[in-house]
Structure 1
């Protein structure tokens, strides 16, 4: 369960703790996660969004300077690559006003379906990186809402990638309860009550 201490940390302190956790051998070797997939959530306050990019870049740079192989994936950029790959993306955008909003959303959402396209592409990126990554960072999931939800990406990735740590950088709160399961609260407003087998990254330093 997320403690009040980790939930109250300012942005720079959150990423500093994330750095300490992610560079530790116990994290990279996934010790203590027997029987669980090594998926983690690095949550931050939505109000800190303007500064997250710089902190994220600094985190990746520090890990790589330490010799840790990081696969850094921007989910928004990945989605745009999938849309562009249709060869009709510009035409689709030009005709957006001609479609009902729900029809347009369904159409563009299908192109980045986590099960069919987004998660398999993430796996290919990870498997294609050499040297092999020791950790995967997923960012900008909030920009895909409501077309794609964070829990769907995690759930569809589990059968594809479960042998190295994956960290989802998340704008909101990750609530964990031993009785009610877990939920990702996007922007601290939109609750998704699905259960996912993930851990609060910042809590690992206290474990």
Structure 2
């Protein structure tokens, strides 16, 4: 079994290949990938993602790694709409489950025209590699299969890599190694 460092090295090598970035060799399927990792390695993964982004930014590569932290996007949207403080008050009076549902509805989480999907779509270019992080920080407001399914409907020209704090066996997602997602999602495992 490979170490996390070996898997990350393999992932970096894959991302640098032209065939990966052009989605070649995937049976004409859009390149959606999941890189699963032990949740206790979250800070290590965050540092690695930032390192790879900066390395790409300062290189002469013909592609750009763009990192989208879902938690940061949600907070930014709540601030822009003036809802963040209202969420704090709403949680005090109605509870977290109710505020979570309200945030999901406001963000149109289940729609391919949702605010998060549109945010990502508006910030990518033709030569992007999209890294999605922060899914663990957003639980239970966001579920990874919903985000990926909605993105899959509108972003098909660039590869997308979800960094997932849990386990993915090619069909089933288990967040934090404990919370089983009842929905099937088909994405390629970036590396084993």
Q: Same fold (TM over 0.5)?
A: yes
**CA distance in 2: counterparts of 1:43 and 1:141, whole angstroms:** 12
TM-score, length basis structure 2: 0.89
Of residues 145, 159, 178, the one that matches 1:165 is: 159
**1:29-68 alignment runs, 5 A limit:** 29-64=22-57, 65-67=59-61, 68=63
8 Å CA contact 1:19–1:63 kept in 2: the answer is: no
- Structure 2 counterpart of 1:195: 184
**CA distance in 2: counterparts of 1:153 and 1:63, whole angstroms:** 25
8 Å CA contact 1:40–1:166 kept in 2: the answer is: yes
- Structure 2 counterpart of 1:108: 103
CA drift at 1:32: 0.7
8 Å CA contact 2:23–2:29 kept in 1: the answer is: no
Gaps of 5+ in 1: 177-181
Gaps of 5+ in 2: none
Bigger mean CA offset, 16-25 vs 106-115: 106-115
Bigger mean CA offset, 113-122 vs 185-194: 113-122
**CA distance in 1: counterparts of 2:13 and 2:37, whole angstroms:** 17
Distance 1:193 1:9, change over 3 A: farther
**1:81-96 alignment runs, 5 A limit:** 81-96=76-91
**CA distance in 1: counterparts of 2:18 and 2:176, whole angstroms:** 32
Of residues 136, 147, 172, the one that matches 2:141 is: 147
- Structure 2 counterpart of 1:75: 70
Distance 1:36 1:197, change over 3 A: farther
Computed over aligned residues only, the root mean square deviation of the Cα atoms, in angstroms, reads 1.7
**CA distance in 1: counterparts of 2:60 and 2:39, whole angstroms:** 29
Q: How many residues align?
A: 187
- Structure 2 counterpart of 1:22: 15
**1:109-128 alignment runs, 5 A limit:** 109-114=104-109, 115=111, 116-126=114-124
8 Å CA contact 2:23–2:30 kept in 1: the answer is: no
CA drift at 1:75: 0.9
8 Å CA contact 2:34–2:189 kept in 1: the answer is: yes
